[in-house]
Amino acid sequence: MAKIAELRRLVERLKPEVVHSYSFYTNLQAWCGTLGTQSIAVGSVRSDFHHSRKGRGHCLGRLSARWPRHQIFISLVAAEQAQNYPSFFSPKRIFVIRIGVDLQYFTITPPPNSGRPQVIGIGSLRRLKRWDRLLRAALDLKRKDLDFFIRIAGDGPLRDSLERQAEEFGLQNYVEFIGHTDSISEALAKANFLVHTSDFEGGPNVVLEAMACGRAVVATDVGSIPDFVDDGKTGFVVRRGDDAALVERMKILITNAELCQKMGELGRAKAESEFGLDRMVNQTLAAYRAVGWKDN
């Protein structure tokens, strides 16, 4: 309540035309902070709608799903979940705006040619990211006598347990946890392709960033990933939980450098045509106008 009161004082002092919640977890605060003012509150859903609602708790999850009444989703799947949610506690109006990527910062670079295929995984070390799935895939690939090296960039509460699991699997020469990095572009430049094994997503930035850097992607079919990645063209999309398919698709890219590079080049081309920042900004401003913002 103290934070909401402070936000309210800030809104009264700055008089913003729009208060746009950063994520589902700040939706209710954004709405409360604009009550009784001329500011327009806009909510956000950046991940899976059901997962976000449950993660907020029984009460706050319902309230954040309803208020603000206008909400921007980055995933068509999540938007459909909200539209089909049989409850009073759902948004009145939904806009779907895919995230954008800075194509000037995330530039295409030649893939490494050291001989040992390099794989990157990027994300927080939390349960929903399912890094244990990637470690099991690495074990299967090792048993197939494939030569590769996986770097996992990110930090979180599961780091110790994941490192122990990698050690138990005998993956010391195949997997490295490099911790948090502020330079995603450099991490991607050192890899031949990205693997993303999450159970829940909205529209993961790192997938678009990898494509912008000219890297093929192997990812689970969650959130907007099937929309981002053209299966068989810019990478591979595997059904969540189909560990055999994950291993097989990783094997293809590990053993076929030419295909891996070609997929990365096509990924960059798609990023340039569909995922630029100008498109995202223009669509966001259009959503503001649709809910009453006057840009005069």
Q: What is the 3-state secondary structure (H, E, C) of 119-169?
A: EEEECCCCHHHCHHHHHHHHHHHHHCCCCCEEEEECCCCCHHHHHHHHHHC
**Is there a single domain that holds both residue 284 and residue 268?**
no
Is residue 109 in a domain?
Answer: no
Burial class (CB in 10 A: 0-12, 13-18, 19+), 9: exposed
Is residue 108 in a domain?
Answer: no
Is residue 61 in a domain?
Answer: yes
Is residue 204 in a domain?
Answer: yes
**Is there a single domain that holds both residue 59 and residue 170?**
no
CATH value at residue 168: 3.40.50.2000
219 strand-pairing partners: 196, 237
Question: Would you state the pLDDT for residue 236?
Answer: 98
**Is there a single domain that holds both residue 152 and residue 232?**
yes
**Is there a single domain that holds both residue 56 and residue 172?**
no
**Is there a single domain that holds both residue 51 and residue 131?**
no
Considering its fold, how many domains does the chain have in total?
2
**Is there a single domain that holds both residue 219 and residue 178?**
yes
Decide if 172 contacts 150 (C-beta within 8 A).
no
**pLDDT tens, N- to C-terminus, the chain (296 residues):** 899 999 999 999 999 999 999 999 999 999 999 999 999 999 999 988 998 999 889 999 999 999 999 999 998 989 999 999 878 899 999 999 999 999 999 999 999 987 899 999 999 999 999 999 999 999 999 999 999 999 999 999 999 999 999 999 999 999 999 999 999 999 999 999 999 999 988 889 999 999 999 999 999 999 889 999 999 999 999 999 999 999 999 999 999 999 999 999 999 999 999 999 999 999 999 999 999 999 87
Is residue 36 in a domain?
Answer: yes
Is residue 229 in a domain?
Answer: yes
The two tokens of residue 176 are: 């490295």
**Is there a single domain that holds both residue 172 and residue 246?**
yes
Is residue 113 in a domain?
Answer: no
Q: Which amino acid is at 287?
A: A
Decide if 254 contacts 117 (C-beta within 8 A).
yes
Decide if 272 contacts 103 (C-beta within 8 A).
yes
Provide DSSP, the chain: -HHHHHHHHHHHHH--SEEE-SSGGGHHHHHHHHTTSSPEEEEEE-S-HHHHHHHT-HHHHHHHHHSSSEEEES-HHHHHHHHT--SSSS-SEEEE------TTTS---PPP-SSS-EEEEES--SGGG-HHHHHHHHHHHHHTT---EEEEE---TTHHHHHHHHHHTT-TTTEEEEE--S-HHHHHHT-SEEEE--SS-SS-HHHHHHHHTT-EEEEES-TTHHHHS-BTTTEEEE-TT-HHHHHHHHHHHHH-HHHHHHHHHHHHHHHHHH--HHHHHHHHHHHHHHTT----
Decide if 228 contacts 208 (C-beta within 8 A).
yes
Question: Would you state the pLDDT for residue 193?
Answer: 98
**Is there a single domain that holds both residue 267 and residue 127?**
yes
Q: What range does the domain containing 236 cover?
A: 118-274
Q: Which amino acid is at 150?
A: I
**Is there a single domain that holds both residue 75 and residue 126?**
no
Question: Would you state the pLDDT for residue 206?
Answer: 96
**Is there a single domain that holds both residue 22 and residue 141?**
no
**Is there a single domain that holds both residue 182 and residue 218?**
yes
Q: Give the contacts of 58 (CB within 8 A, at least 6 positions apart).
A: none
Q: For the packed helices 27-34 and 2-14, what is the interaxial angle rounded to 10 degrees? A: 50
**Is there a single domain that holds both residue 270 and residue 281?**
no
Q: Which amino acid is at 193?
A: F
Is residue 253 in a domain?
Answer: yes
